[in-house]
A and B are shown apart, each in its own frame.
Chain A
Amino acid sequence: MKKLIAGATALAASAMLAMTPVAANAKTITLCWAAWDPANALVELSKDYTAKSGVDMKFEFVPWPNFADRMLNELNSKGKLCDLLIGDSQWIGGSAENGHYVKLNDFFAKEGIKMDDFMPATVTGYSEWPKGTPNYWALPAMGDALGWTYRKDWFAKPELRDAFKKQYNRDLEPPKTLDELVDIAKFFQGREVDGKKVYGAAIFTERGSEGITMGVSNFLYPYGFKYQDPKKPYSMEGFVNSDGAVKGLEAYKALYKCCTPPGYTDAYMGEGLDAFKSGQVALQMNWFAFFPGLYKDEKVGGDKIGFFVNPKGPAGSGSQLGGQGLSVVAYSPNQAEALAYIKWFANPEVQKKWWSMGGYSAHKAVLNDPGFAKTAPFAADFLVAMGQVMDFWADPSYAQLLLSEQKRIHDYIVADKGTAKEALDGMIKDWTKVFKDDGKL
């Protein structure tokens, strides 16, 4: 009995201690983003801002698999947690239409921030709603697209090069087409390299948030998948489920079945990084955002790693767009300070430092610099990838559309249900229903 009370009192005392507020001398604003390497780099970068302005920065980072759920929930509940939000590109429609974000046109005009200074794909992808109109809801903060990494040191091993040449009658080089990519993955799958069994490729298969959709798109786009009829918006029959799209989906499944490490049923960026860094795989699909960190890795970085853009398919080239814009949350009581941060962040000098620390600036002052392509081994590839990006729906109903694709695709690829055509037909059925409910059809 006595022990119980003593224990309870001790815990109560610690709770009291925890409740005592920390003395806040300066103004503080909170920035919310996903928990990943670029975010931690932004913390380091923002120390300059605090030193300059006297405004303290707090950060709220959520890992990718929970990021959308948590932040959209926060916005929908009109929460005041975030003053600044680096929100995902697909949220822009809903956040603009439901008034979650502050419209930035007037602020840009007043401060002389010109959207022409930023790469067009990022402006369309991260800032505009409706797309193609000059209504801006965010400053392009982090350019990103999907790319691939490979083990340069393995590709250079003479015995592997010989074996590959014998089998495929060409040199073991980074693939130019998706077919070549699958060949390379097959070649490495189960092979012994440096006395360890290795696997072909780490690709996205995650079910819970957006993983498998973001992965499969890089096969669907180059195989001819289109979200809608360019002439007739929201008409999807023959575009989403075109013969090319079916083949692309089948090719992704074939790659998953033959050439991924064991237990690769629910993998997204984190699992991909782990597989690559632990030396399990020859190829890895991942966001450019991670490439600076990978290049600096003490085990697989430096001259052991190479990068390439998502290869061409039968219908041309295409890469999934990633990346985010920096927005001011409409429910924030500190909008003035939040806007001041954006003004600071848009400064070309800050943008240059941002790129040097591992962030992907979208500012032309950085990207159009003649020396840019030489600043990092993946810099040139990044520009190519950003030139061929496509994005998922950014409509206010994007979450419903995404959840449907996640389910249909995961059911087909991982759980082996139905055929590729059925999966895509099912997606059209789900998506049509969503657009009908929204009154778009």
Chain B
Amino acid sequence: MTGQTPPDRIAERVAAATPQALATGVRGLSDRAIAWIFITPTMLLLLAINIFPLIWTIQLSFTNFRANRTNAAVKNVGIDNYTSILSDPDIWAAMQSTAHFVFWTIILQTLIGFTLAWLLDRKFRGHGFWTTIILIPMMLSPAVVGNFWRFLYQPQIGLFNYIIAFFTGVDPSSFEMIGSVQLAPWSIIIVDTWMWTPYVMLICLAGLRSIPDYIYEAAEVDRASHWRQFWSITIPMALPFIMLAVLFRGIENFKMFDMVNLLTSGGPGSTTEVASITLKREAFEKWRTGFSSAFAIILFVTVFGLANIYVKALNQVKSR
């Protein structure tokens, strides 16, 4: 797949899809006009499907509106929704579950992902093939695969317990990954780590490969030990890439919904009820639209802040 391939049929079709009438009609248009004509459709779509709804959400967040009672009177409640969210122990419990999940998935994925990247950077024969194999889980649907993990985690009949039992000798029905209060938070961490470690690995690998050889050559000349080289060259040079992976996983897991919803749906009790699950319950089961809009806005602001940092990190990596 290189740029030199002769024009393909797909390209021709894409070209054909650009409206001919538009193309000929605007023949004399200035570059500036073309720029706007090209960018505006995307902007309009995003305005209609992202910005307008966002403004609507803000407006709803100050009301007691319920989407399942359209004929009831809507009252303006000021910032009541916000104050009751911030003083609601259930919401804080959800935030804590989310924090636990985000923290441990990042730690595990970074450790395992970086180690794998470092091993793959040894460039043994067939590393390309094995990299592709390892990458597969992250391309799959978290919902569909997460659902299947429910089966793997069944005590007795599930493979997971059986494998653990095989290696440790404990009774496979003596522990329940998604049923017990102590293990359930780890059951979702394990599945997320299984899916997303390849992501961290891939970015770390790019980071390792971006370190120019001459730096190592210079270190060899200085007779720096391999250990020393690792800590003073490899880690600092790869750090922007690691940060990029960590930030993106942080944002993604902060809003985690699909996998957890199917695996534990927040249970047992509310042990694994992460923020998105609480939000779904408030918005689409209790139908407290106003209240949940306020909660949504709080999550928006948090993600927006994180995204800002993420884009800075992206640009930093890009300049390498």
Is B a genuine binding partner of A?
Answer: yes
**Which A residues contact B (CB, under 8 angstroms)?**
1, 4-5, 8, 69, 72-73, 76, 94, 97-99, 207-208, 262-266, 396, 399-400, 403, 407, 410-411, 414-417, 437
* Contact present for A407 and B269 (CB under 8 Å): yes
Provide the residues of chain A in CB contact with B39, threshold 8 Å.
none
Q: Give the Cβ gap from A265 to chain B, nearest Cβ, in Å.
A: 3
Complex: how many Å from CA A207 to CA B178? Answer: 12
Given A263-B176, A265-B176, A265-B179: A98 in contact with B68 (beta carbons within 8 A): yes
Complex: how many Å from CA A5 to CA B267? Answer: 44
Provide the residues of chain B in CB contact with A263, threshold 8 Å.
154-156, 173, 176, 179
* Contact present for B181 and A416 (CB under 8 Å): yes
Q: Give the Cβ gap from A161 to chain B, nearest Cβ, in Å.
A: 28
Complex: how many Å from CA A128 to CA B285? Answer: 23
Q: Give the Cβ gap from A192 to chain B, nearest Cβ, in Å.
A: 15
- Chain A-chain B contacts (Cβ-Cβ < 8 Å), number: 87
Asked whether any CB of chain A lies closer than 8 Å to the CB of B133, the reply is no
Task: Sample 8 A-B pairs with CB under 8 A, ordered by A number.
Answer: A1-B1, A73-B284, A207-B266, A208-B265, A208-B266, A265-B180, A410-B267, A410-B269
* Contact present for B68 and A72 (CB under 8 Å): yes
* Contact present for A415 and B271 (CB under 8 Å): yes
Provide the residues of chain B in CB contact with A69, threshold 8 Å.
284-285
Asked whether any CB of chain A lies closer than 8 Å to the CB of B312, the reply is no
Asked whether any CB of chain A lies closer than 8 Å to the CB of B137, the reply is no
Provide the residues of chain A in CB contact with B284, threshold 8 Å.
69, 73
**Which B residues contact A (CB, under 8 angstroms)?**
1, 5, 8-10, 64, 67-71, 154-156, 173-174, 176, 178-181, 264-271, 281, 284-288
* Contact present for B1 and A76 (CB under 8 Å): no
* Contact present for A399 and B268 (CB under 8 Å): no
Complex: how many Å from CA A208 to CA B268? Answer: 10
* Contact present for B269 and A266 (CB under 8 Å): no
Given A1-B5, A410-B267: A262 in contact with B155 (beta carbons within 8 A): yes
Q: Give the Cβ gap from A256 to chain B, nearest Cβ, in Å.
A: 12
Provide the residues of chain B in CB contact with A415, threshold 8 Å.
181, 267-271
Q: Give the Cβ gap from A250 to chain B, nearest Cβ, in Å.
A: 17
Nearest B residue to A8, CB-CB? B10
Nearest B residue to A97, CB-CB? B69
* Contact present for B287 and A399 (CB under 8 Å): yes
* Contact present for A262 and B176 (CB under 8 Å): yes
Complex: how many Å from CA A417 to CA B67? Answer: 33
Provide the residues of chain A in CB contact with B154, threshold 8 Å.
263
Given A263-B155, A399-B286, A403-B286: A94 in contact with B270 (beta carbons within 8 A): no
Complex: how many Å from CA A407 to CA B268? Answer: 9
Given A265-B176, A266-B178, A410-B268: A5 in contact with B5 (beta carbons within 8 A): no
Provide the residues of chain B in CB contact with A208, threshold 8 Å.
265-267
User: Which are the 8 A-B pairs with shortest beta-carbon distances?
Assistant: A415-B269, A265-B179, A263-B155, A207-B267, A411-B269, A262-B173, A208-B265, A414-B268
Complex: how many Å from CA A411 to CA B5? Answer: 61
Provide the residues of chain B in CB contact with A396, threshold 8 Å.
68-69
Q: Give the Cβ gap from B139 to chain A, nearest Cβ, in Å.
A: 15
* Contact present for A407 and B67 (CB under 8 Å): no
Complex: how many Å from CA A76 to CA B96? Answer: 32
Nearest A residue to B8, CB-CB? A5
| Beyond A410-B269, A415-B268, 19 extra complex contacts between A and B, CB < 8 Å | A1-B5, A5-B10, A73-B284, A97-B69, A98-B70, A207-B266, A208-B267, A263-B156, A264-B179, A265-B268, A396-B69, A399-B286, A399-B287, A410-B267, A410-B268, A410-B270, A414-B179, A414-B267, A414-B268
